[in-house]
Chains A and B, each alone.
Chain A
Amino acid sequence: MAQAEADTAAGTRLRPADAALHHEVGLFLYHEAAVLDAHEYDEWLALFTPDIDYRMPTRYNRLAREQGQATASEGDLAHFEDDLAGLRERVDRIRSGFAWAEAPPSRTRHLVTNVRVWHGTDDSLEVESHFLLYRTRIEVDVEVLAGARHDTLVPGGPHGWLIRRRYILLDQTTTVNLSVML
């Protein structure tokens, strides 16, 4: 699948991280999941570099010979395409008390798994992870969003790493209300 995986692996022969670094990055991703599930959004924003490029393209069912176009290119429509100011605007909105889609808030579990880590150029890391976001709201409403994330991490911040680029490949083509972060 994965355009995100291809970005990392195809032809680039990146060096995999050792067990200690793999463990460290795993803990970093679990920390991020925990602050999102706890709605600690200042903590979450602090995990990004000031030039964060955060995006989640739209996806399509395509003919077999057109599978290369099943994920929207840059310049086409995305579900998310935010810089740090954009992410901050989303967070401010949720905390305004008037964001009805999150008031009362979703109860979420960001499950992060299948983590793979490579050394990138310089001192950056290229990280693949798969996620399953369980969300319940109001009564018995349940939604599940699944997909892959490709993160570029650079050293910095209180947790050792900062996210400089996040490319999210959601598995759904038709979605629900995306009032939560991935």
Chain B
Amino acid sequence: MAPREALSTVLDGELVGHDGLVDRRVLCDEDLYRRELESVFERSWLFLAHESQIPNAGDFFATTMADDPVLVVRQKDGSVAAMLNSCRHRGMRVCRADVGNAKAFTCTFHGWTYDASGQLVNVPKYDEGYHGELDKSKWGLVRVPRVESYKGLIFGTWDEDAPTFVDYLGEEMCWYLDSLVDRREGGTEVIGGVHRWVIDCNWKLGAEGFIGDMYHSEMTHASVGLGALPDKGWQYGAPRGHGTGFFIDGLEYWNGAYGDEVVRYYEEIAPEITNRLGAAAADLVSACAHGGVFPNFAYLTGAAMTIRVWQPRGVDRMEVFSWVLVDRAAPPEIKEASRRGMTRAFSASGTLEQDDGENWSEIQRVMRGSVARKHPINYQMGFGHERDDVPGLPGTVGYVNGDLPGRGFYRYWAELMRQGPLKRANGDGSG
């Protein structure tokens, strides 16, 4: 019997089963990829930038929401606007710089010019060519209708009816994410610059990995002499597919990796973290935690912090945007140790990062085969051993080495795929 089309199978709820098995076509099927751009990415909150990247009016950062180019711009009133980086006239990108400061964005094709809020302010030959008849107020850049900042992290969504970002996270995930962004007075900031590199794999391999896979660490990263990792820890999976995992009591373990001054810093800030978020958060931060917000935002917290986005670039390629995050209140030498440590471990040249990418791209390569595609991958670890009675930890958790968040990630992905694209009038979008 011929296998059923991947799309109809996912719509029937069979590609991501409740038995913990995931059909490999979710990672390699072109039809599913085209559908997820609309059904998953257009409907979800996507990370845009960190507030500290664009402190001044006119500061902009060019990113993408999935594969759509988007400009994130600081406004005169201090708010942040995000807009599709595509001229309304013929579709050219109106800004081709990655980062900078601008009062206006002028298209290099015919010269249509937009102000920092995306309003169309100048059209060459307006009187002679358009006879003054073009309504400029209707032809501004397409705005991202919802933009919210959560403790320095700026997210946006194309879904005007989406829940607030905090509701999208859920109360439980807010607490876990706060171990990254709200552990100290003053919050966080990013070090200048972005690491960007491509990996030939589906974006979900990165996303699910950071949301739910501590298990890989000892084998994948054996080259840096991690040895046996701490054996105590938990993982959490949110209803909307977010997740995190972390060791506890791990500070001693990381001593060698980040140095005495970093360990001392974490000992010093433990009371402040306890005061703000509870003793469980101080435990969590003392070791090393991975996490992610569905669909494609990821972070590491603990002895050094990164935030990143897995940008889809086709079904079998992604581009990583990665930042180094630091506590704003940290002393300069700790920020410097974080910058150097994260660059060495988690960048395109990172001694841990490289081997993640290698495994992911090989997984993608294998799926070229028609037989390999027919065999599901296994997310059964810890199935049936979830618990909700761990003191200090919100939500349903499981042992740190498990697939609880991974199962949740794929379940929610499948749910969005079933619901399908946004239903909305395709208006002029200028707001």
A residues near B (Cβ < 8 Å) are 56, 58, 60-63, 66, 69, 72-73, 75-82, 86, 89-90, 93-94, 96-102, 138, 173-179
Contacts and interface: CB of A to CB of B under 8 A. Distances in A.
Interface string B183-222: 0000000011111111100000000000000000000101
26 contacts: A58-B193, A60-B98, A60-B99, A61-B96, A62-B100, A63-B100, A66-B101, A69-B100, A72-B192, A73-B192, A76-B193, A77-B192, A80-B343, A81-B340, A93-B223, A99-B223, A100-B223, A101-B354, A101-B355, A102-B354, A174-B319, A175-B197, A176-B197, A178-B347, A178-B349, A179-B354
B97 A177 contact: no
B339 A77 contact: yes
B358 interface: yes
Contacts of A99: 223, 354-355
Contacts of A61: 96-98
Contacts of B225: 96
A93 B224 contact: yes
B278 interface: no
B162 interface: no
B35 interface: no
A86 B198 CA distance: 24
B224 to A, nearest CB: 6
Contact of A78 (B99, B196, B319, B343): B343
A144 to B, nearest CB: 14
Contacts of A174: 196-198, 319
A177 B100 contact: no
A101 B191 contact: no
A178 B193 CA distance: 17
A60 to B, nearest CB: 5
Given A76-B191, A76-B192, A174-B319, A89 B351 contact: yes
B247 to A, nearest CB: 21
Given A58-B194, A58-B195, A99-B355, 13 more contacts: A60-B99, A63-B97, A75-B192, A93-B351, A94-B223, A99-B223, A174-B197, A175-B196, A175-B348, A176-B198, A176-B348, A178-B348, A178-B354
Nearest to A69: B100
Contacts of B199: 177
A102 B223 CA distance: 10
A28 B197 CA distance: 31
Contact of A77 (B99, B347, B357): B347
Interface residues of B, number: 38
Contacts of B76: none
Contacts, number: 111
B324 interface: yes
Nearest to B102: A63
Contacts of B347: 77, 79, 178
A21 to B, nearest CB: 32
Interface of B: 96-102, 191-199, 220, 222-225, 319, 324, 336, 339-340, 343-344, 347-349, 351, 354-355, 357-359, 365
A62 B97 CA distance: 5
Contacts of B340: 81
A174 B197 CA distance: 5
A100 B355 contact: yes
A143 B197 CA distance: 13
B94 to A, nearest CB: 12
Contacts of B339: 75, 77
Contacts of B348: 79, 175-178
Contacts of A96: 222-225
A89 to B, nearest CB: 7
A178 to B, nearest CB: 4
Contact of A72 (B193, B220, B324): B193
A77 B344 contact: no
A58 to B, nearest CB: 5
Contacts of A62: 97-100
Contacts of B97: 60-63, 66
Q: Which 7 A-B pairs have the closest CB atoms?
A: A77-B193, A76-B192, A98-B222, A178-B349, A101-B354, A98-B223, A99-B223
B357 A177 contact: yes
Contact of B354 (A73, A82, A89, A177): A177
Contact of A100 (B192, B197, B198, B358): B358
B385 to A, nearest CB: 30
Given A81-B340, A100-B355, A173 B195 contact: no
Contacts of A75: 191-192, 336, 339
Contacts of B193: 58, 60, 72, 76-77
B196 to A, nearest CB: 4
Contacts of A86: 344
